[in-house]
Amino acid sequence: MTSTFQRLMLFVVTFLFIHNGYSNRCLIYFAEHCKEVKQDTKLPYTDSVEYGCQRRFRLSNNTVVFLNSGSSIQFQPEKKIIELSGEGLFEITEDSNIIKVNDRVEVISYAGSRVNVTAYKDFSDEPLVIATLIEGRMRVRFGDTLGYFSVPGQQLSVDKNFQLIIERNQAADAIVWTQGTFNYNGMKTYREIFKRICRWYNLELEYPSTIRPLNIKFASEFNDSLSQIIDNINDATHGFQCRVKDKKLIVTKVYPEPQFKSLKCDKG
């Protein structure tokens, strides 16, 4: 009965997406739904998500993973290591896990924890890792340090020089992407929001070198068309205009005439 109902709902949602012009988009698993995937308890397990998609699934050790657009993981069950590229929300129900970003940066999450880890490598100015503890316990280990413990709500960022930045009250903004929306209440800068949009629509970003790190309030749904989102950005910003051309999100400063700096995305 349940499976029949789920198939019926999937058909209805798919029909609505196609009817509204989203036939080229990927369905998002809703937060309460978790896909069970068949895994060998000893062999590594690999999974990935295309741009414009999200997936939520459970690993063989009962860790629930919610992967964001353009992300991938490799899980080594015997070592309890999750190698991450991109972004994921991890719900640790049993054993602790090591979420590995590279050979010198890792996030250790303990049983009963929810941790959001961002480790995209597509922009040259991106930190090595941004780890936000939603609840439970977390430790970020990098370089030659033994690691830093975090309290719920804290966000630990490690840049390419292994410098640590700690911010408070970041939990809500860190996981807003799991709700299918770009919704930032003044906690993100222009550039951070532009990056999010580029990652969802698989775009490169071109922005003025004189752009200031101003925080803005901005809200839009993942299911909005790209033109709708651009209109929302232009309505929310002052002194900037955005447009998309040749797979680039181009941000133009209205006055004075800007010198452009292009951040290349490595999509390979």
Reported as a single tens digit per residue, the pLDDT across 138-180 is 999 998 887 899 999 999 999 999 999 999 988 988 898 998 8
List Cβ<8 Å contacts ≥24 apart for 95-102: 95/61, 97/61, 97/63, 99/131, 101/128, 101/129, 102/128
Mean pLDDT to the nearest integer, 1-22: 43
| CA gap 192, 186 in Å, rounded | 11
Residues of CATH 2.60.120.1440 domain(s) within the chain?
Answer: 25-173
Q: Which two tokens stand for residue 229?
A: 């989102």
Please determine, for residue 30, whether its predicted confidence score (pLDDT) is greater than 50: no
Residues of CATH 3.55.50.30 domain(s) within the chain?
Answer: 180-263
Mean pLDDT to the nearest integer, 38-49: 78
Residues in the chain: 268
Q: Rounded to two decimals, what is the model's pTM?
A: 0.79
Please determine, for residue 264, whether its predicted confidence score (pLDDT) is greater than 60: no
Q: Read out DSSP for 176-217?
A: GGGGTEEEEEEEEEHHHHHHHHHHHHT-EEEEETT----EEE
Q: Determine the topology of domain 25-173 in CATH.
A: Jelly Rolls (2.60.120)
Mean pLDDT to the nearest integer, 53-82: 93
- Specify whether the CB–CB gap between 109 and 96 falls below 8 A: yes
Q: Where are the alpha helices (DSSP H) in the chain?
A: 2-19, 171-174, 190-201, 226-236
Mean pLDDT to the nearest integer, 9-15: 43
The H or E element spanning position 52 is none
pLDDT of residue 28: 47
Q: Determine the topology of domain 180-263 in CATH.
A: Phage tail protein beta-alpha-beta fold (3.55.50)
pLDDT of residue 110: 93
| CA gap 233, 230 in Å, rounded | 5
Q: Is 112 helix (H, G, I), strand (E, B) or coil?
A: coil
Please determine, for residue 127, whether its predicted confidence score (pLDDT) is greater than 60: yes
Terminal CA-CA length for the chain: 43
**pLDDT tens-place string over residues 74-113:** 999 889 999 999 999 999 988 889 999 988 899 999 999 9
Instruction: Give the confidence band of 190 by pLDDT, cuts at 50, 70, 90.
Output: confident
Instruction: Give the confidence band of 37 by pLDDT, cuts at 50, 70, 90.
Output: low
Of 22-36, 70-84, 187-201, the least confident: 22-36
Mean pLDDT to the nearest integer, 226-238: 80
The identity of residue 1, as a single letter, is M
pLDDT of residue 134: 96
